[in-house]
Amino acid sequence: MVTSRAAARRTAARAAYLTSMAACPTHRVLDRMGERWVSLILKELACGPRRHGELARAVAGATQKMLTQTLRGLERDGLVARSVTGSVPPRVEYRLTPLGASLLPVLAVVTEWSERHIGDIDAARAAYDAGTPRERAR
């Protein structure tokens, strides 16, 4: 049937696009940086090495699971280094690698833009939300 062929073609096109998108460096990095706890952890580690427990306290909103999971991801990408000394009790320390440190200026640029324009965004939101119920008195 013609219709299902067209649908299949669209699906295929999407799959191909999805693949190429997954390979896009910018998207991959943005994906990581956008993860819920990444920017917080990066900022904390920017101040110096931290033990697991210290990070847990500093980033109090994250559950232990998410903290570990996020750190593993950052470690895998070579942004964070993990070192263990002693095994009872274990003493684990996380610190930024040079690669991770090189990301800080980028984060700083984002931060600067954000703090400068968050007011504009909030204003736009307020305006949008106020005007949106346009059907209200129809």
Interface residue list for a copy of itself (CB under 8 A): 13-14, 17-18, 21, 25-31, 33-35, 39-40, 59-61, 63, 75-79, 99, 102-103, 106-107, 109-111, 113-115, 117-118, 120-121, 123-125, 127-129
Determine, following the binding rule CB under 7 A, whether residue 125 of this chain makes contact with DNA: no
Q: How far is the CB of 43 from a copy of itself (least distance, A)?
A: 9
Distance of CA 130 to the CA centre of its chain: 30
Determine, following the binding rule CB under 7 A, whether residue 1 of this chain makes contact with DNA: no
Would you state the structure tokens that stand for residue 1, as one six-digit string?
């049937």
Kindly tell me the number of DSSP H helices and DSSP E strands found in the chain.
6, 3
Q: What is the Cα–Cα distance from 117 to 134, expressed in whole angstroms?
A: 27
